[in-house]
Amino acid sequence: MKKNKVLIRVVVAFSILSLSLIKLVSAEEPDKNVGSLQEIGNQMAERLLELSPQMQVERVISLEELGMYAIEISGGRTIYGMEDGIHFFTGNLFRFDGGITNLSELRQNKKRKQLMNAISDEDTIAFGKGEGRFVETINVFTDVDCGYCRKLHSEIAEINALGIKVRYLAYPRGGIGSEGYEKLVTAWCSKDSQATLTNLKAGRTVEMSNCESPVKDQYFLGQQIGISGTPAIITSDGRLFPGYLPAGELSKRIFGMNKNN
């Protein structure tokens, strides 16, 4: 491996988190005295892309108060860089403020909230639509053949009764073109999407159909924000609960915790 593309990894372990501190060695290191944090971050992102062309950088954010910048990568990951333009680390960034606050997760919450708010009800299969008693709306990335997706759906009436509206988004675990993908397209294309989705989740035979649907876009959206399995539950304030939660526990998580907006 060429010297100007060597990554020297130093693992620094803490009691509350583990981060990898990395030095990027290059024949042409950036001038540490020139340029804003934003500019330095943009340069770092370009250099990382040279080493890993498959990486997808979504945006670079200047964290002026910390003397750092954040490079957000598709899949919900973040790279934090130092102002010297050489050192960076991956992982979560925490803050002591009477407790321990995960600043990385707060930023991801805000991002997920914005993305979910941009999705209209018409592009989801919603349970609880039109009933004014609902005080919380959750978005659930789902697959029809996933056992825990089926278990969650079997409690949909109880979840609704607890004041929670459910908007389903499609996430075929087998990917685009898989049997699960075709089933989800069928549900979204059905005249009675709720009944079709329920029948598919119950394992009943449903005649396949096709139309222009948001299934593919929702699958890619799930990948973008780091969804790796189903069900994946996103609350109205952007918190992510991966996996199945019983109706009562889901209610506690939603209403019993202080929300971080």
Catalytic residue among 112, 149, 167, 239: 149
User: Measured between alpha carbons, how far is residue 183 from residues 18, 145, 169, 200, 202 in Å?
Assistant: 41, 9, 13, 7, 12
* Under 8 Å between Cβ of 105 and 241: no
Say whether the peptide bond before residue 231 is cis (omega within 30 degrees of 0): yes
The verdict on whether 146 is a catalytic residue reads: yes
Report the SS3 class of residue 45: helix
Catalytic residue among 143, 145, 150, 167: 143
Tokens of 235: 């609350």
Catalytic residue among 112, 150, 167, 173: 173
Cα–Cα distance measured from residue 220 to residue 243, given in angstroms and rounded to the nearest whole number = 19
- 196 CB neighbour count, 10 Å cutoff: 22
Catalytic residue among 146, 150, 167, 239: 146
The verdict on whether 149 is a catalytic residue reads: yes
Closest CA to 138 of 180, 171, 168, 118: 168
* Under 8 Å between Cβ of 112 and 234: yes
Beta bridge partners of 18: 13
Beta bridge partners of 170: 142
> Where in the sequence numbering do the catalytic residues fall?
143, 146, 149, 173
